[in-house]
Structure 1
């Protein structure tokens, strides 16, 4: 069960949330994971700072997956996430920060995968 959580500085109206959810759903295949198990959490109007300065338009995205994180796949995923956030929210790639987390244990429905 992959999870993408995006914290963005801008407001996300319902239609933008729907677009991001759909685009993140397509993008997760770059990590070799199915959209059918993807959970997405979108947090808007966040105060994000980098180098002591508040970002007017910025994003911090966490991508969590069951198993390890492949460096090549995560590189492609970062590029795609930056494209999505630029196109949909006007957040430039140099203000998008992405972290990847792999885990051997992921619980769901009363048990672990």
Structure 2
């Protein structure tokens, strides 16, 4: 049950959110074997983001949280894929995208009144 939190300075159109959601889901299936049926995506828009002490006009913070462990190669592929997706769709420079991957054991993840 992965969660992807995408944090951007700018507001996104409904079409863009749908495009990004679909591309994130495809990426999670291809790279991590995580099905879209369990994927939760959250878009946080209009946030002030600073980098090098200056406001960032184009860039993002993307947090991926999931149950289980990924290999270093899978994490590298996720990072590259996210940068490619945001660069292609939003014209964000790859060096203005930060990615955080957090892995949890099932006992630390609640859903539907229980844990995994």
Output the TM-score relative to the length of structure 2: 0.93
* 1:110 maps to 2:76: no
Task: List 4+ stretches of structure 1 deviating above 4 A.
Answer: none
C-alpha distance after superposition, 1:80-99 (max 9, x if no partner): 10111011111110100000
Point out the more displaced range, 65-74 or 76-85: 65-74
Gaps of 5+ in 1: none
Partner SS for 2:77: helix
Residue 81 of structure 2 corresponds to residue 59 of structure 1: no
Residue 22 of structure 1 is matched in structure 2 by 22
Secondary structure of 2:42's match? strand
1:17-74: CA deviations, max 9, x gaps? Answer: 1101111110112123111100000111211111101111010000001012321101
Judge conservation of contact 1:69–1:100 (CA < 8 Å) in 2: no
Instruction: Say if 1:69 and 1:101, in contact at 8 Å, map to a contact too.
Output: no
Unaligned runs of 5+ in 2: none
Alignment size in residue pairs: 113
The RMSD of aligned alpha carbons is 1.0
